[in-house]
């Protein structure tokens, strides 16, 4: 079975500061891992994904995440936060990309 | 390219009433999903279709929920009768190929049961 834990339901950063959103997963098979973002009044959209190969993956809007098997983690980072990054972020795990299991989400607030 | 379209966006009903949600996926997307999102939680899969076949409905409460995807295109999710605990956002998503993990979501249908 697969599960996801996102540490921190709310994260607040200043504009220009590092963004770090934490995600730990549990999977009985080699996982596919995803980050989705949901802006207010919009549907979820894919930010980035890891399937196989390079463990550092880059996504849209300057975000990246690193798959660390030993730590069962897939944390999302961005070097410099922008006001437009304010949204809710969901980490998800899947066996072979078929059935995504989502975490509870982290709301990112960016202060000016 | 049009995105995933869902309707209605908002629905308020009294308990024991029926309700239906409609979803039109992106053209050419064979896989269609219905997810349930409760307040403060992540989406949870209700049912997944490959074309017109429901290939994973293990999480669908079949006593009151039903879904169909006629002709393998648009889909309807129905609740009858609705209960107070069904108040949530119902999300529809589609993907071009099975196993890609790249889902395209609609804006959701927010249900309030009074």
Q: How confident is the model at residue B99 (pLDDT cuts 50, 70, 90)?
A: confident
DSSP β-bridge partners for residue B62: none
Interchain CB contacts (distance < 8 Å): A and B: 62
For chain A, how many helices (H) and strands (E)?
A: 0, 11
- Facing A43 at nearest CB: one of B48, B102, B105: B105
Residues A86/A112, Cβ–Cβ less than 8 Å: no
Residue of B nearest to A102 (CA): B42
pLDDT, tens digit (0-9, with 9 covering 90-100), for B24-38: 999 999 999 999 999
**HEC profile of chain B:** CCCCEEECCEEEECCCCCEEEEEECCCCCCEEEEEEECCCCCCEEEEEEECCEEEECCCCCCCCEEEECHHHCCEEEEECCCCHHHCEEEEEEEECCCCCCCCEECCCEEEEEC
| Min Cα–Cα distance to chain B from A82, Å | 24
With CB atoms and an 8 Å threshold, state whether A44 touches B100: no
Each residue of B63-93: pLDDT tens digit? 999 999 988 899 999 999 999 999 999 999 9
Instruction: Summarize the confidence of residues A81-96 as an average pLDDT.
Output: 94
Chain A nearest-CA distance from B82, in A, is 24
- pLDDT at res. A96: 73
Q: What is the pLDDT of residue B72?
A: 83
Residue B11 pLDDT > 90, yes or no? Answer: yes
Which residues in chain B have their CB less than 8 angstroms from residue A46's CB?
102-103
Would you state the pLDDT for residue B2?
83
Cis omega (within 30 of 0) for bond into B8: yes
């Amino acid at each position: 079975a697969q599960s996801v834990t996102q540490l921190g339901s709310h994260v607040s950063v200043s504009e220009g500061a590092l963004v770090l959103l934490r995600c730990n997963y549990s999977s009985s098979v080699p996982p596919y891992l995803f980050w989705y973002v949901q802006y207010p009044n919009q549907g979820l959209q894919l930010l980035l994904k890891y399937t196989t190969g390079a463990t550092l993956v880059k996504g849209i809007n300057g975000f990246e995440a690193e798959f660390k098997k030993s730590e069962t983690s897939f944390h999302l980072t961005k070097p410099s936060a922008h006001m437009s990054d304010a949204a809710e972020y969901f980490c998800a795990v899947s066996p072979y990309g078929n059935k995504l299991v989502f975490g509870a989400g982290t709301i990112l607030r960016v202060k000016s | 390219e049009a995105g995933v379209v869902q309707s209605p966006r908002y629905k308020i009903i009294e308990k024991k009433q029926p309700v239906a949600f409609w979803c039109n996926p992106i053209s050419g997307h064979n896989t269609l999903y219905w997810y349930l999102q409760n307040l403060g939680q992540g989406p949870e899969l209700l049912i997944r279709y490959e074309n017109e076949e429901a290939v994973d409905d293990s999480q669908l409460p079949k006593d009151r929920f039903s879904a169909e995807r006629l002709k393998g295109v648009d889909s309807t999710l129905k609740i009858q009768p609705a209960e107070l605990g069904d108040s949530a956002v119902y999300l529809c998503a589609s993907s071009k190929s099975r196993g890609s993990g790249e889902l395209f979501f609609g804006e959701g249908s927010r249900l309030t049961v009074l």
